[in-house]
Chain A
Amino acid sequence: MAGAPAAVRRAGAGWGAWTLAGAVLAFLLAFLLIPVALVVFTAFVDEGGGFTLGHFANFFGQSIFRESFFNSLVVALASVFFASLIAVPLAYLTVRFEFRGALLIQTLGVLPLIMPPFVGAVALQLIFGRNGSVNLLLDQYFGFKIPIMDGLVGVTFVESIHYFPFILLNLVASMRNIDGAMEESAMNLGARGFRLFRRIIFPLAMPGFLAGAALVFVKVFDDLGTPLVMGVTNMLAPQAYLRITSVGIDDPLGYVTSVLMIGFSILALWMAARVMKGKDYATLQKGGGSLQRRRLGGWESVLAYGWIALVLCIVLAPHLGILLMSFAKVWSFSVLPDAYTLEHYASVFENSRQMIGNTLLYCVLAAGLDVLIGTAIAYLILRTTLPARRWLDYLASAALAIPGLVLAIGYLRLFRGVDLPFTDSPVVTSSVLIMLAYAVRRLPYALRSCMAALQQVHISLEEAAQSLGATRWRTVRRVMVPLMVGGMLAGFVTSFITAAVELSATLLLTSSETQAPMSYGIYLYMQSASGRGPGAALGVLAVVVVGLGTWASHRFAERTRTPERATTP
């Protein structure tokens, strides 16, 4: 039961576990560690190729790096705080209360993760920027502006509204898994309102929250796009990037920064794991069947709906901006566009069908692979006693801190001269690498969700199955996986969504137009003034396609959870 130390009886370390661990490790080695090492080793060698730590010493001598490190840390912590502020009420209200439109809100709440490259940045500036709609209106009516898009504050703002869905998704998944009896017992004992939430619900949903919060922290700490777009260079990721991508200079300090970012990200995840250590979050009764949704009182529901409406307005503003841009003829220094047109959609529809297909193909494959590997790692860590098994988690999560460009260069180096099996076409010019890059870069998302999901499954359910004669494989298939399907879905969705808007690796690995996914198309349009409209239209299409994909996977998961649905009123 929750809070009590579980009788830890793991599946041990049989040959099955070893094989599985070997397979996962082989994948990580081939597609993450070796390619990255091929690029990042520059940080550890001097000109002659000998090993040195001198570059690290040089790194720490620079005050700009210390400042960058501090800035990145502050922004990451602040973003976790604000993202929680947005996500926790959304999750709590929609999962534990009778709430009209709960599913819609949860779906809309995921949309901010789909921020098409460049288009999203332009839309954000057009809405919240120095001369964006909000500030123009404020200036017109009240005579002042809010510099919400400036400096570190701006980065924190954008990161919070961009990445809070990580917390939302995982929290919703884990709140759904809480045994309703816990809540009822607490209420019978007199716990109400905030106390009930603080003492019972939130602690029980901790695995999901921590999974989400750790992701937000690491992601923001390592994020490159947002600071660059806002013109903030005094953070670690932009410092690394600017040094790696300077034309013609191979500056090892860029790679040193990357290595340190990887190290720090692993440290953060390790600390999150420490918090969870010695605590047991598994509850025996599962699923929404037992979950009694409460009703909100009159003024409570006004407050709740008001809050949710406000939050959704803010977090979906960029998407509204993209939508407006896609219909706008010209939108410049004005609250709304001057005139509207459908032209942009016409020009996009002509030649983007293949891109949509490619995006779906790559992302479904990548996310599927991620859930598979994520579940395997979760199983190995939580259900076996293999030595050093936690390292699989840390290694996989290191992908968060690796710039897409570095991974992509590593792929080109490692697979140079290798042909696809059974063909003579080289791997480097095939789209397999794009798919693998997506899978590797988005694996940490799926992994966190799968871990959280399995943490909430009580081991005695599996023991029961085994004592009834089920084999280990059958137990996994019929008991463990069905019980954690909610978390796996959350993982699939995050991987799928975020892979759809990946650009940096895509840009390098795309070797012909027929392989290009939508993010590449958006990039292409956004390189010129006249491409802004079509770029936005393609961005809207991406959001719609990915949104539909998300909805479809929800439907798929609902179908597989029939017992739960049968008892849900």
Chain B
Amino acid sequence: MPLKRVLSRVATACLVVLSGAAQAGTVTVITSFPKELTDAYKKAFEAANAGVKIEVLNKNTTASIAYIKELPAGQRPDVMWASAPDAFEVLARDKLLTAAPEVKNPHVPAKIGNYPINDPKGLYYGQALAGYGMMWNTRYLQANKLAAPREWSDLAKPEYFGHVAISSPSRSGTTHLTVETLLQGEGWERGWTQLLEIMGNCAAVTDRSFGVPDGVNSGQYGIGLVIDFFGLAGKYSGFPVEFAYPSVTAVVPANIGLVTGAKNVDEAKKFIAFTLSKEGQQILFDPKISRLPVLPYADLKVPAGYPDIQAVAKKAKVQFDSELSESRYQVVVSMFDQMVTFRLKELQAATKAIHDADRKQKAKPNPQAAELLKQARGYAYAPLVGQEMVKNEQFLELFRKSRRDVAVSKQLTGQEELWATKAKANYARATELANQAAALVK
């Protein structure tokens, strides 16, 4: 088949041309940020630095980490730029980030609220700030005759049943920080109870953080727990959505860092410095980007009506303890997955039964039913790990060990299995008790 041979030759030639390695003067940025943001920075930076080109590689966080890890030094991208703090932790642990203290902008404050903006070890730097809050679809709420929620605790109310969405903390670093903020703000036991009450009202636990705003934008979900720019960008793109910060919120930085073994270190540093400079920070106000700068507002031209994150952070009652958060990270996300993500259907059923019984009981009070209902709540909304346990260093240590060790893995999977079966049994028991309570009132 000569035609085929010719075709394949041409194709190989094309491929060789296409694959030409990045030329000198090109900074490769690997990022999970949307096109609007990266395009704006690329344009502004290239205009200010003639001869330097920015090549943007957009990958999700998992793919970004794998890509950097698997490539040999010298062929890696130069700059990593993403939201998830845990991704930078992983890269730092594997020595894939290099400190570049000279890129820092001295005007950037050391902390936002109680959270350090730059990595304490100096391997990555906060580039923009983000706070967690709630976004809602106004048409959806109107059609379902719901008021807009103001605080996290509102979301536990019966009227919001089946209208809320969140992404799983094991998938989204920012969701984890929100969960942790709630746990630190309310205390472990009460925090979990409130969290589980809210989760019982959830219609979905998505596997990507963007799945939540996407669903709220389409009107699939009524209310989403999201990071601010997701809500604001949806609003500024014309969707009928609103966003608000509750009084308890975590304000955390999105980061940028220099990759070890980068192709073009000097110009990469120039780019990082640019994103932290006054010009670079100003770009964040673009309505399609809608992020919050790390530079104080005094240094910038702020559009009218723009949320003042420093004020939000100051208002936040929680003194966020990042060490505590890190020490129990695995326990929190693993328990969340076993109790909520994989058992959402059962949790929803229990919550619905409790709401129904509660409504009936309130209309026609009955002490015995109230007692049953209290028990039902106890089963459905109590954390499976107690306050004492989560302070137990030995217990926490187990979760930090490598799962590649068969014995460790066995212990961990045993623990997870225990949680899974216990959660399932508890939800079933709660449903049963709530149904009994409802029957009593009738």
Contacts and interface: CB of A to CB of B under 8 A. Distances in A.
Given A333-B137, A416-B70, A248 B86 contact: yes
Nearest to B142: A333
A251 B219 CA distance: 36
Interface string A306-345: 0000000000000000000000011111100000000000
A62 B335 CA distance: 15
Interface string B51-73: 00001111111110111001110
A151 B203 CA distance: 11
Contacts of A253: 403, 409, 413
B299 interface: no
Interface in A407-432: 408-409, 412-413, 416-417, 420, 423-426, 428-432
Interface stretch (B125-133, B185-193, B236-244, B366-374): B236-244
B19 A331 contact: no
Interface string A521-556: 001111111111000000000000000000000000
B19 A429 contact: yes
B341 A42 contact: no
A185 interface: no
A525 B11 contact: no
A324 B139 CA distance: 20
Nearest to B28: A512
B14 A361 contact: yes
Contacts of A526: 214
Contacts of B236: 530
B403 A430 contact: no
A511 B63 CA distance: 12
B67 A508 contact: yes
Nearest to B421: A63
A333 B240 contact: yes
Contact of A417 (B18, B36, B72): B72
B237 A529 contact: yes
A138 interface: no
A428 B75 contact: yes
Contact of B84 (A130, A234, A245, A247): A247
B210 A233 contact: no
Contact of B405 (A46, A520, A529): A46
A252 B404 contact: yes
B220 A125 contact: yes
Given A361-B11, A405-B62, A507-B59, A333 B140 contact: yes
Nearest to A54: B406
B288 A530 contact: yes
A90 B67 CA distance: 44
A45 interface: yes
Contacts of B32: 527
Nearest to B234: A529
Nearest to A525: B35
A365 interface: yes
Contact of B19 (A57, A242, A515): A515
B426 interface: no
A249 interface: yes
A324 to B, nearest CB: 12
A55 interface: yes
B139 A333 contact: yes
B410 A58 contact: yes
A406 B152 CA distance: 38
Given A247-B90, A513-B56, A425 B61 contact: no
A409 B56 CA distance: 20
Contact of A420 (B19, B173, B407): B19
Contacts of B66: 405, 408-409, 412, 508
Interface in B1-41: 4, 8, 11, 14-16, 18-22, 28, 32-36
Given A248-B90, A405-B63, A529 B58 contact: no
Contacts of B408: 47
Contacts of A525: 35
B215 interface: yes
B414 A512 contact: no
B238 A329 contact: yes
Contacts of B321: none
A412 B233 contact: no
A558 interface: no
A191 interface: no
Interface residues of B, number: 89
A528 B35 CA distance: 8
A134 interface: no
Contacts of B59: 507-508, 510
Contacts of B420: 62-64
Interface string A223-267: 000001001011000100010011111111100000000000000
A218 interface: no
B143 interface: yes
B151 interface: no
B282 interface: no
A208 to B, nearest CB: 26
A61 interface: yes
B107 to A, nearest CB: 29
A180 interface: no
B204 interface: yes
B404 A431 contact: no
A414 B276 CA distance: 38
B170 interface: yes
Contact of B214 (A42, A122, A234): A122
Contact of A528 (B28, B34, B402): B34
A292 interface: no
A207 interface: no
A126 B219 CA distance: 8
A368 B170 contact: no
B217 interface: yes
B71 A62 contact: no
A46 B401 CA distance: 13
Given A46-B404, A242-B171, A131 B58 contact: no
Contact of A409 (B70, B210, B238): B70
Interface in B264-308: 288
Interface string B307-325: 0000000000000000000
Contact of A524 (B55, B58, B414): B58
Task: Give the interface centre of B214, B344, B421 by most chain A CB atoms within 10 Å.
Answer: B214
Interface string A194-230: 0000000000000000000000000000000000100
Contacts of A413: 70
Contacts of A361: 11, 14
Interface in B209-246: 210, 213-215, 217-220, 230, 233-234, 236-241
B417 interface: yes
Contacts of B356: none
Contact of A423 (B16, B61, B90, B206): B16
A510 B57 contact: yes
A507 B63 contact: yes
Contacts of A245: 62
7 contacts: A253-B409, A405-B62, A409-B70, A412-B66, A512-B22, A529-B213, A531-B36
Q: Which 9 A-B pairs have the closest CB atoms?
A: A333-B219, A430-B19, A54-B406, A528-B34, A412-B70, A530-B237, A47-B405, A333-B139, A248-B90
Given A151-B345, A420-B15, A429-B21, 15 more contacts: A61-B413, A125-B215, A125-B218, A131-B220, A231-B204, A242-B170, A247-B86, A248-B93, A330-B238, A405-B66, A413-B70, A425-B16, A515-B18, A528-B237, A529-B213
Interface of B: 4, 8, 11, 14-16, 18-22, 28, 32-36, 55-63, 65-67, 70-72, 75, 84, 86-87, 89-90, 93, 137, 139-140, 143, 170-171, 173, 203-207, 210, 213-215, 217-220, 230, 233-234, 236-241, 288, 330, 341-342, 344-345, 402-410, 413-414, 416-417, 420-421
